[in-house]
């Protein structure tokens, strides 16, 4: 892996991988968390409008070239970032990279088609709400926080989407789409010099400066149980969150080791006790979300309406048991879990496009394109795991969605 910063501040991250294809990702610290002073959903609307045309290409020409050049391409707006990515044959890297760079550097934001694109986003909002698990998480964030941007959907609300103007989109683009706010990652068997020359030739004359905002990204959660009734469903979705934004790196490592035994896989404590031995849920897991603006330890359950209370009661009992059992985590278990984490991360980045996306987003969020947790995992002690469990697993916010 190599990293190079252009004179204008743009960061290039390169990883050599023997293959006939090249994957790249162009990303900006321009996600939904940067919308302070803007209407909800503006960051996502910018992503949509970039593909409506450039100074030299219309929307049809862009779509036609994307179909011809890319084996896969997409764009995505998240809370902490917005990324544009794709995979081409090595021989077509120049064409694909030039096309995406034209979209990013020379957008025309045409008036023709703007209202239609807003209507498409509104249709996307309807589809978003139809996903029950996503709906449960959205309601949880809304109830758990008072001011954090994640309280509202990335895409915005129906009211905010309808109120977004072309000028709003231009203003957001002009403020955040700049070289010093941009990371480009390339995974390829093309040489580093060849890739760097390609990036430099296109971007070295891009001279803009962003005005970085100091945002309050985190706050204490509203603890308690919130229940939302929804027609047309037969079961019950439950999500429990514990904020982890105050953890140090060593504590985060301990939490990853804990979670692998606690809530990942069919041999985990949650799965074994709640599903296998008691048959109270059809799905249960726990995850760690650690991204800029959204750092949470979460437990997900899917069950029947009649089993909701019993399932929650059992999860609470398991949490209290692990918080008080200093003998559960042994040095052997830590070694085993460290190895499992390593292979999971290796499998995650086996595809070049996933590796490229992860390098870009990690560099944007943490100024560190390294994807792996510190090798110090193996040196985490049982006492450190016990301490972090008791620090994190307290005062949760619980969201229930059922009929």
Task: Say yes or no: 187 and 296 in one domain.
Answer: no
Determine the Cα–Cα distance for residues 39 and 46; give it in Å rounded to an integer. Answer: 12
Same domain, 14 and 150: yes
C-alpha to C-alpha distance for 289 and 307, rounded to whole angstroms: 27
Q: Are residue 289 and residue 391 in the same domain, yes or no? A: yes
pLDDT < 70 regions, the chain: 371-375
Structure confidence at residue 373 (pLDDT): 58
Residues 193 and 241 grouped into a single domain: no
The answer on 143 and 276 residing in a single domain is: no
- The answer to whether 32 and 79 are in contact (CB under 8 A) is yes
What are the strands, taking DSSP E only, across 7-124? 11-16, 21-28, 70-77, 82-89
Residue 217 included in any domain: no
Q: Which residues contact 49 (CB under 8 A, 6 or more apart)?
A: 107, 109, 114, 117, 166, 169
Looking at the structure, tell me whether residues 239 and 139 fall in a common domain.
Answer: no
Contacts for 380-387: CB closer than 8 Å, 24+ residues apart: 380/250, 380/253, 380/254, 380/257, 380/334, 381/334, 382/326, 382/329, 382/330, 382/331, 382/334, 383/326, 384/250, 384/251, 384/254, 385/254, 385/257, 385/258, 385/329, 385/334, 386/326, 386/329, 387/251, 387/254
H runs (alpha helix) in 177-266: 192-203, 249-262
Q: Is residue 211 part of a domain?
A: no
263 CB burial (10 A radius; 0-12, 13-18, 19+): buried
Count of C-beta atoms within a 10 Å radius of residue 381? 12
Q: How many domains does the chain have?
A: 2
Same domain as 337, residue 393: yes
Give me the pLDDT at residue 131, please: 86
Q: In this structure, are 349 and 242 located in the same domain?
A: yes
Q: What is the DSSP letter of 217?
A: -
- Between CA 31 and CA 77 the distance in angstroms is 6
In a domain, 17, yes or no: yes
Q: Are residues 154 and 252 in the same domain?
A: no
Which contiguous run of DSSP H or E holds residue 238?
Answer: strand 235-243
Q: Considering only CA atoms, which of 83, 77, 79 is closest in space to residue 33?
A: 79
Nearest to 225 by CA among 43, 388, 395: 395
pTM of the model: 0.94
**pLDDT given for residue 375 in this prediction:** 65
- And the tokens for 30? 């321009």
Q: Indicate whether 213 belongs to any domain.
A: no
DSSP string, 138-157: HHHHHHH-SS-GGGS-TT--
Is residue 218, in this structure, part of any structural domain at all?
no
Q: Choose among 145, 184, 186, 159: nearest CA to 33.
A: 145
Co-location of 193 and 233 in the same domain: no
183 and 240 part of one domain: no
Domain that holds residue 59: 2-203
pLDDT 10s digits, 303-355:
999 999 999 999 999 999 999 988 888 888 898 999 888 888 888 788 999 99
**Within a domain: residue 210?**
no
* Structure confidence by residue, pLDDT tens digits, 170-196: 999 999 999 999 999 999 999 999 999
Cβ-based neighbours of 382, under 8 Å, separated by 6 or more: 326, 329, 330, 331, 334
Instruction: Report the chain's mean pLDDT, rounded to a whole number.
Output: 94
CATH number for the domain harbouring residue 337: 3.30.830.10
β-bridge mates for residue 84, sequence order: 26, 75
User: d(Cα 181, Cα 193) in Å, to the nearest integer?
Assistant: 23
Q: Give the pLDDT confidence score for residue 374 in this predicted structure.
A: 58
Residues 191, 237 within the same domain: no
């Amino acid at each position: 892996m190599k990293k190079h910063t252009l004179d204008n501040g743009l960061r290039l991250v390169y990883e050599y991988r023997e293959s006939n294809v090249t994957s790249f990702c162009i990303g900006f610290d321009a996600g939904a968390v940067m919308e302070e002073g803007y209407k909800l959903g503006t960051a996502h609307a910018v992503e949509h409008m970039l593909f409506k045309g450039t100074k030299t290409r219309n929307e049809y020409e862009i779509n036609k070239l994307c179909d011809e050049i890319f084996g896969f391409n997409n764009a995505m707006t998240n809370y902490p970032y917005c990324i544009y990515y794709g995979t081409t044959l090595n021989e077509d890297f120049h064409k694909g990279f030039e096309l995406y760079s034209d979209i990013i550097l020379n957008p025309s934001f045409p008036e023709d088609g703007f209202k239609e694109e807003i209507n498409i986003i509104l249709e996307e909002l309807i589809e978003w709400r139809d996903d029950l698990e996503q709906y449960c998480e959205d309601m949880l964030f809304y109830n758990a926080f008072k001011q954090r941007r994640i309280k509202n959907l990335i895409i915005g609300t129906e009211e905010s989407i309808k109120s977004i103007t072309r000028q709003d989109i231009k203003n957001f683009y002009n403020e955040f789409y700049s070289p010093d706010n941009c990371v480009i990652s390339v995974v390829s068997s093309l040489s580093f010099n060849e890739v760097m020359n390609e990036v430099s030739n296109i971007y070295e004359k891009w001279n803009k400066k962003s005005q970085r905002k100091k945002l309050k990204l985190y706050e204490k959660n509203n603890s308690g149980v919130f229940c939302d009734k929804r027609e047309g469903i037969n079961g019950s979705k439950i999500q429990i969150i514990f904020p982890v934004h105050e953890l140090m790196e060593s504590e985060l490592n301990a939490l990853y080791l804990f979670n692998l035994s606690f809530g990942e896989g069919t041999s985990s404590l949650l799965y074994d006790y709640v599903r296998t031995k008691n048959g109270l849920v059809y799905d249960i897991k726990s995850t760690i979300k650690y991204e800029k603006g959204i750092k949470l330890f979460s437990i997900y359950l899917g069950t029947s309406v009649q089993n909701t209370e019993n399932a929650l009661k059992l999860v609470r009992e398991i949490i209290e048991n692990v918080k008080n059992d200093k003998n559960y985590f042994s040095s052997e278990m830590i070694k085993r879990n460290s190895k499992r984490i390593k292979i999971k991360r290796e499998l995650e980045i086996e595809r070049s496009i996933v590796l490229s996306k992860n390098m870009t987003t990690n560099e944007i969020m943490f100024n560190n394109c390294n994807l792996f947790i510190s090798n110090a995992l193996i040196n985490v002690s049982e006492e450190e795991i016990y301490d972090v469990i008791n620090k994190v697993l307290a005062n949760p916010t619980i969201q229930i969605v059922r009929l």
